[in-house]
Structure 1
């Protein structure tokens, strides 16, 4: 068995040397699959050689131990009968140890065969994976070759999404800017009408005295018109200065949070719109003032110099709804009657 192992080791070493030389000589001319196959075979042969060397060393150690035991037994024979018997016993046990070593070699051979089978299976699995990967690569290359040519779109400034979005926002802001001034002018007219009406009513006695002294309606109304005109002019100047300098900048700074590239925005003052707004404000306030003065100035001086009689009270529509009116206290009833008694104040409150 020992010589058989020596022969196998020698043959395996020669086979490995031959395979290594063949692999080195044909490295440039072999295909990748052939080179890979020979490399796998060389690795397997080296593993087999290492296994045989291990088994040979184990067998050599077993034989050396047996020889030592035989020598010791021989010494014991020379030394006496008891030693001879012990040596003979050890000699008898040596074949059993040798058989055990041979059994170990057989088991190792079985394990080697199993490992070789696993190696072949792993090799086959790797080949299958390589084939699948190669097929996937070829399919991907076919897809790349069959990809349609892209379509390019050239966009001018009017069709860039960010530009159109910014333009849409500015158009919306422009629409708001067209509606809000109407509301502001309406509120200004209502405030002017209420304020000037109260002022004229408080000074009705003075107006009656002036009319009795011979002052014309225009001269008397000029005082209140001039008051409204000066207030409107001062407010228009302050509004134009503050509005043209702050509101556009606040609006632009708000847009900068959304549009990152919005820098160094120049806001040009719109003189025409400022003059137009001031003119409309003057028309609204002076018109409201003239409307407030008209009713008082149309009365006679004698009537104006007397205190104005309060408006006559009358039943309102809510009083006809008995189940509601009966549950109101005195203050609530007075408030409801005043709402319908002074309709101009009611409208001013609702509109404001």
Structure 2
């Protein structure tokens, strides 16, 4: 192994071990643990996968990366995985449904009733040994082909979209002629106003305009725009006119005061299921575009990984992190 790569991996492991020790003493609820709920499936080990942190803040795709790693780890070890977003909270929690299934299929044929009557159950969580030593699903997917390909392989093998989500995607893809579009993704609202520490710096609208013009002049293709920010949409729509395309159900956030993150603000669509499904569908559609121009976020990483190098041309704004 090259010395530089060895140092990076050792440094990553050290940071992980320090964080694990903190959780061991201060947040033992996020550690992996074994429990028995009954006598069913005595010859199997069930891996019950839950969100690590149930604060209702993490976005859908930020949550999914960790759940995906747990699914892959479980199947590698011969465990039977089951994802529970019913008894553990996310921002999509509704108190009655396993909301994971609004977006994705279960990775096994287990039912909730079976899981909570089984003899040998592991609750997912942190262990002293990281399940992601290479840093899959992190920013390096944009620059490291090997990491992107490994991330894409894991995503496609272990995550399967719900029929409802695929139905939305198929309908919109046809209407948009998505395979000919320049996919454009830019975040605004809380990313720009709050500048959350450790998150990716977003390009300005003027920076995005320049790059879109470059792609549009080169390829003469329509623009599929994904943004949550109404001001950004208005600005780009004024600049590019009718070549801007959006999904039929799109809505935008306006008059955002910037006092808190979106998930804790009163500006999001109230129907959590539809909100999440529409967002996921848009990110899948971005992966189907012919070209891509985007900022770095958890969402754009997902589209980029799902596309796995099939864009004919691309540009990712890498502007560092907010301090």
* TM-score interval, normalised by the smaller of the two chains: under 0.3
Larger radius of gyration: 1
Structure 1 or 2: more helix by fraction: 1
Q: TM-score, normalised by structure 1?
A: 0.16
Q: TM-score, normalised by structure 2?
A: 0.17
Structure 1 or 2: more strand by fraction: 2
